[in-house]
Amino acid sequence: MTTYTAPIRDIRYVLEHVTPLRELTALPAFAHAEPDLVAGLLEEVGRFSAQAIAPTNRDGDQHGATLDGDRVVLPDSFKKVYDQYVEAGWGTLQHPTEFGGGGFPLTVANAAKETINSANLAFSLGPLLTTGAVYLLTHHGSAEQQQTYLPKMVTGEWAGTMNLTEPQAGSDVGAVTTRAVPADDGSYRITGQKIYITFGEHELTENIVHLVLARLPDAPPGTKGISLFLVPKFLVNDDGSLGERNDVSVVSLEHKLGIHASPTCVMAYGEDGEGAVGYLVGEPHTGMRGMFTMMNDARLGVGIQGLAIAERAYQQALAYAQERRQGRGPTSAPGEQAPIIEHADVRRMLLTMKANIEAMRALCYANAHALDLAHGADDPVVREQQQKLADLLTPLSKAWCTDLGVELTSLAVQVHGGMGYVEETGVAQHFRDARIAPIYEGTNGIQALDLVGRKLPYDGGAYVKGVLGEIRDTVDALPEELGTVAVNLGDALDALQEATDWIFAQRETPNEVFAGATPYLRMFATVVGGWLLARGAVSASAAIASGDTGTFDAEFLQAKLTTTRFFAEQVLPTVRGLQPSVTAGSRDLYALTPALLAP
């Protein structure tokens, strides 16, 4: 079973009751995003994802991307569906109207992206990078660069890429050596190699706009000496038409565990002459500022990928559990085999997936909602506070959701039993595809360091204290029927508060903090996920009590209460268990020499 159904009902519930879209449509920038319009849009993108994109997922995994000389060849199905994607305008949703975008809130655009990611994760990576490139040029590109490149990139007729690292650099971007030499005409000549470039070469689009980190001849060492350059695959003439091919080429493709149809390229710049033609974006030596604009957008996008692949795997596991008969169920007659969904442990796995997926969805949408308010609110104080919230939630969205993407797709394999390990069922592909997400756009360990090193200290710690206070207010206001949620969320919040206090007390010994940063991020994200589920459950409980369920039936709302209780009783208790890992410090991490670590 490899079909997919977009979870539009749950998406709409989050947009109405957890991250209220009405808060955004009250702003002039998003006034056009009326509920009926958004509902119709989501229904249509869900249909497109399920019917047009999802059938290409297996084809992409089996045939993958291949290198034919200097051409990257993708499965035929990809070109057809990509053209449909561009024609429908799905890539334009969040982008500025002056460049042909829809001007919709990021919250709405990301809901649409979730369905596309679930349908085919490998396919979705190309649009993800193009979206980030548009975002970067919108904020840092010159007026000429924006007018030349953005209209075609917004529609998806041209693609964009992110070129950061090199073989010797890895995550240490400050070690890059690609060079940029000024030319007489104001452009630059770029020479060097970049690795791990997603969709660095393909023929889905007419042109590819590479955003490349490089060093000017007078650049200081480290990240302070990095500049950002726009390097198109084809040069663009003054009239907007495409000119000659730039000195940019693909050297090889990586052979990967998963996402086989997403070409991960080694790119060469300037191998055939004096260098590839590039154009400086922003000021010299400020490249990391621009690239982080793109990377932060991509980090939330990658978090959504973790959510999306888990949703796809969950749907497949749920269908299999209803079809597969094995063993006697609790109400089966003697000698009668029951569907495995009747077995308690299978139910546990399915509810674990469902509850975590709903928490992940709420977190990623809350992250986007904060960004929308940060960009669109009239009050500068609101903008500032919402930007801080978005900054705090981004490492949680990226790391927690991608870690869970791996864990939950693994559970989907487990639900299938031995058949899950057999490729013909298709569920193993989701597990393989999910594994890259905790690594790219800054490994999850880096996200944890960012959380404790940069985000917690906002306002001397006062900001995070305020967020934890909001969670406490929710706990204190939970109705009686959510009493177990209040107890477990309250205890998890206590543990998180104690761990947070310990971190602030250790600020003079940062390595002690860094040693526990990853379990701390897990604690924080799990508490936030439980908090957001609780907020949704309060709305569900009130709707049931009043009899005014709106567009959601009472059975669906009761299911919301059940998944929230399950998360509170089965997932939130792990927060307390993680606390000792946070506060253990670094002593034992460094107690063994490499020789003692060896067998």
* CATH number for region 55-88+120-285: 2.40.110.20
Q: Give the CA angle between residues 430, 559, 354 to the nearest 5°.
A: 15
How many Å separate Cα 521 from the centre of its chain?
16
Give residue 168's pLDDT band: very low, low, confident or very high (50, 70, 90). Answer: confident
Q: What is the pTM of this model?
A: 0.96
Kindly state the average pLDDT of the residues 323-331.
Answer: 89
In the numeric block, the tokens 């079809």 are attached to 323
Kindly state the average pLDDT of the residues 50-70.
Answer: 96
Mean pLDDT across the chain? 95
Kindly state the average pLDDT of the residues 19-24.
Answer: 96
Is 423 one of the catalytic residues? no
Q: What is the CA radius of gyration of the chain?
A: 24
How many Å separate Cα 35 from the centre of its chain?
24
Quick: pLDDT tens for 398-429. 999 999 999 999 999 999 999 999 999 999 99
Catalytic residue among 114, 201, 311, 441: 441
Look at residue 2 in the predicted model and tell me its pLDDT.
66
Look at residue 410 in the predicted model and tell me its pLDDT.
98
Look at residue 331 in the predicted model and tell me its pLDDT.
83
Look at residue 273 in the predicted model and tell me its pLDDT.
87
Per-residue pLDDT for 485 more than 70?
A: yes
Give residue 176's pLDDT band: very low, low, confident or very high (50, 70, 90). Answer: confident
Look at residue 175 in the predicted model and tell me its pLDDT.
74
Distance separating alpha carbons of residues 519 and 359, to the nearest angstrom:
18
Quick: pLDDT tens for 516-526. 999 999 999 99
Per-residue pLDDT for 508 more than 80?
A: yes
Distance separating alpha carbons of residues 238 and 220, to the nearest angstrom:
34
Residue with the bigger pLDDT between 174 and 221: it is 221
Domain boundaries, the chain: 55-88+120-285, 443-586
Residue with the bigger pLDDT between 222 and 28: it is 28
Per-residue pLDDT for 174 more than 70?
A: no
Contact 323, 416 (CB under 8 A): no
b/e string for 388-401 if b means 16 or more Cβ within 10 A? bbbbbbbbbbbbbb
